[in-house]
């Protein structure tokens, strides 16, 4: 949209940032070249809030001082991003971001540029529900595709005999491995693989009882054909876009012999038209 509206607050965002929009507007307006700050990303853990300023030009000393004063006064941590995602760096001390999954006695660490769910309360409920629905047992092996930093992988590992997580971003896999180590989980492995390309990975030849899929909006169509060959009996599909979930559900049911057991939605994005969906499939039966 080309329509620009002035917002004094935003109910979609966490209150800490949603109620600070006018303060942010004043901050940007006071910089020497406000038009060269096209976006601000937000990263939050259970206690801290990071603002990532996309700066198209280097900031001068006076602008950096303004940012520092703002961060100190409003209790934010500020990062700058002069280029691509790999250029995200703290203005001063780096943030030690982490969130807890108390139902599993887990704590996951992440970096400001990492993907995490925007709604921590709903995420905790979603993880608990996903593990309950997939129902991993001590004698079972579980595969978690699009695993990220281990948001589902590590909770599953507290119940299953072994869990394998696969993710396309090497930096997220590194974080997932570190999170497993920090939480004392030794029955989990992680691999880096682009799940949208033709796969020839060794883990494809392994057997898994259950699979969790949590793909981006584009869905998981490219990996679905591998699941029956791995002996997968149960699939839990978590989706942020109902359109691709419906497409992939049709393929699982009509091409690969799974049946839909249950499905529902979670209000991950309050005050918006978007939802997080969850669907459970089982091999065979009627």
The pLDDT, as a whole number, for residue 44 is 87
269 pLDDT more than 80: no
Q: Would the CA dihedral through 237, 243, 248, 250 be positive or negative?
A: positive
Interval 116-147: pLDDT, tens? 877 788 889 999 999 999 999 999 999 999 99
Residues 190 and 165 sit within 8 Å (Cβ to Cβ): yes
Interval 209-248: pLDDT, tens? 999 999 999 999 999 999 999 999 999 999 989 999 999 9
183 pLDDT more than 80: yes
Mean of the per-residue pLDDT values of the chain: 92
Domains of the chain from N-terminus onward: 15-90 (2.40.50.1070), 114-283 (3.40.50.150)
167 vs 5, which has greater pLDDT?
A: 167
Strand, coil or helix: 121: helix
3-state helix/strand/coil string of 165-213: EEECCHHHHHHHHHHHHHCCCCCEEEEECCCCCCCCCHHHHCCCCEEEE
Q: What is the pLDDT averaged over residues 9-25?
A: 88
Q: How confident is the model at residue 1 (pLDDT cuts 50, 70, 90)?
A: low
Q: How confident is the model at residue 285 (pLDDT cuts 50, 70, 90)?
A: low
200 pLDDT more than 70: yes
Interval 30-53: pLDDT, tens? 999 999 999 999 998 888 999 999
d(CA 174, CA 147): 12
For the entire predicted model, the pTM comes to 0.89
- What is the arrangement of strands in the sheet containing 39-44, beginning at the earlier edge strand? 39-44, 49-54, 77-81, 89-90
Strand, coil or helix: 23: helix
Contacts made by residues 119-125, CB under 8 angstroms, sequence distance 24+: 119/268, 119/269, 119/270, 120/44, 120/45, 120/46, 122/266, 122/267, 122/268, 122/276, 123/99, 123/151, 123/268, 125/266
Q: H-type helices in the chain, by residue range?
A: 15-18, 21-29, 61-74, 120-134, 153-157, 170-182, 221-224, 226-229, 242-254
φ/ψ of residue 137, rounded to 5: -115, 165
Q: Would the CA dihedral through 178, 180, 182, 184 be positive or negative?
A: negative
CB atoms within 10 A of CB 83: 10
The percent of residues in the chain predicted with pLDDT above 70, rounded, is 98
The pLDDT, as a whole number, for residue 46 is 84
d(CA 83, CA 146): 26
Interval 45-97: pLDDT, tens? 888 999 999 999 999 999 999 999 999 999 999 999 999 988 999 999 999 99
The pLDDT, as a whole number, for residue 286 is 55
285 vs 123, which has greater pLDDT?
A: 123
Q: Which residues are catalytic?
A: 240
The pLDDT, as a whole number, for residue 113 is 84
270 pLDDT more than 80: no
DSSP character for 19?
Answer: T
């Amino acid at each position: 949209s080309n329509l620009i509206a002035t917002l004094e607050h935003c109910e979609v965002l966490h209150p800490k940032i949603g109620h600070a929009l006018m303060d942010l507007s004043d901050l940007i307006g006071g910089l020497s070249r406000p038009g060269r700050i096209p976006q601000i990303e937000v990263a939050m853990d259970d206690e801290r809030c990071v603002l990532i300023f996309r700066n198209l030009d280097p900031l001068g000393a006076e602008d950096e001082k303004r940012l520092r004063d703002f961060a100190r006064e409003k209790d934010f941590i500020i990062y700058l991003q002069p280029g691509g995602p790999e250029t995200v760096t703290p203005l001063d001390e780096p943030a030690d971001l982490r969130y807890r999954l108390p139902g599993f006695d887990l704590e996951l660490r992440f970096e400001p540029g990492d993907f995490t769910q925007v709604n921590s309360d709903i995420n905790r409920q979603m993880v608990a529900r996903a593990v309950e629905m997939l129902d991993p047992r001590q004698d079972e092996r579980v595969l978690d595709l699009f695993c990220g930093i281990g948001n589902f992988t590590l909770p599953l590992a507290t119940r299953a005999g072994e869990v394998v997580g696969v993710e396309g971003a090497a930096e997220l896999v590194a974080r997932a491995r570190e999170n497993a180590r920090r939480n004392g989980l030794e029955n989990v492995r992680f691999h880096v693989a682009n799940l949208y390309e033709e796969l020839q990975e060794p883990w494809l030849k392994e057997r898994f009882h259950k699979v969790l899929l949590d793909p981006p909006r584009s869905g998981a169509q490219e990996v679905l054909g591998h699941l029956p060959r791995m002996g997968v009996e149960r699939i839990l599909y978590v989706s942020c876009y109902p359109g691709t979930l419906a497409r992939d559900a049709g393929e699982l049911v009509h091409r690969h012999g799974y049946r839909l057991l249950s499905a529902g939605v979670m209000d991950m994005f309050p005050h918006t038209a978007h939802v997080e969906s969850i669907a459970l499939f089982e091999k065979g039966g009627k």
